[in-house]
Amino acid sequence: MIWRCGNRIIDLTRPVVMGILNVTPDSFSDGGRYAHRSAALERARQMAAEGAAIVDIGGESTRPGAAPVSAAEEMERVLPVIERVAAELPVAISVDTAKPAVMSAAVGAGACIVNDINALRSDGARSWAAEAGVGVCLMHMQGEPRTMQLNPCYGDVVAEVAAFLAEQRTACLAAGMAPEAIVLDPGIGFGKLAAHNLTLLRELPALVGLGSPVLVGVSRKSFIGLALGRPHAERVHGGLGLAALAVARGAKIIRTHDVAATCDAIGMVSAVLAGMET
């Protein structure tokens, strides 16, 4: 299994790690920590050294209740970092954005993946992505960041998320995108209560069965704190457990703040699964 991202091919025979690099002042986990370009570049270097195959660079917080920023401000935050990372490091670069203008500028600066919480539903996004030939990650979200956690409701969360992701993938294929360019993300924590998140992780094979690689991001999220009674700073171990579970259930990309530990955790799961297959 591969992820075709422009001129880069990411081998998904074994799961890979996507490191999170927020160049924002208000992200839920590390807001402001890497807003300065030198700090962001140093963090990217560290993640690459720790084993990240992809660095996901975002300039707009998507935490619950986050306020939107303009495309111009978002580009001012991310483009210089993307350019420096692309020039210096061998990792694939993903841009975490829902704005077509930012997508295009980021790819021009060196990104090869668009990670879109809006699943390329903005006007012109699908046709642009098809023409650009980039890799894309289509995520499910109920509502939008400012209101998504007010009262998320589902009849059958697994069936509804699966249907949404299948519909968006079909729309991307109809726009001319290659099947191997598309990755799917159930959007853990995006318009979902803790019970919804746990159910999606338990039933992840239903999403894997859609046929595209699945990305899972659970790093430091609030439902871990609810399940374990842990504050934000003490959720790493819970997140590692969920990352290992997700890989065992078929996920191919794990998006995380904690690259080194996650690489070790999913590497061991991969070793066990490979041993079972030989």
Which residues are the active-site residues? 221, 255
Q: Are 160 and 206 in contact (CB under 8 A)?
A: no
Q: What angle do CA 233, 151, 183 make, to 5 degrees?
A: 65
Q: What's at 258, amino acid-wise? A: D
Distance, CA of 7 to chain centre: 20
The two three-digit tokens of residue 209, written as one number? 């069965």
φ and ψ of 154, to 5 deg: -140, 150
Round to whole Å and give the CA distance between 100 and 88: 26
How many residues belong to the chain? 278
Residues 6+ apart with CB under 8 A from 91: 44, 47, 48, 52, 53, 54, 55, 85
Reported as type and span, the H/E element at residue 20 is strand 16-22
